[in-house]
Amino acid sequence: MMFDARRIVTAAGEDVVKVYDKTDGRHWNCGPGVGADDEAGVLSIVERVRIKDGYTVEGRKNGMVGVWSC
């Protein structure tokens, strides 16, 4: 989990990053696992997540790194 002045991001053993907006109370999922059926097991669990200046960086168990504007 990490937060900045506006958002909180968490990675709770899932294949997506959970984003919470502190100013208006909205929340959503971010990353390639959003809306995807991972039947083939291609998506990996998010282990690390950071947020800065509106960008989220995630690190997954399989070594993939993703950068998102969420």
How much is the average pLDDT of 45-52? 93
Residue 36: what pLDDT?
A: 67
**Averaged pLDDT, 39-59:** 85
pLDDT at 67: 94
Quick check: 42 pLDDT over 80? no
Helix and strand counts by DSSP (H, E) for the chain = 0, 7
State the pLDDT at residue 57: 94
Grade residue 53 by pLDDT with cuts at 50, 70 and 90.
Answer: confident
The whole-angstrom separation of Cα 58 and Cα 66 is 5
Predicted confidence (pLDDT) at residue 24 exceeds the cutoff of 90: yes
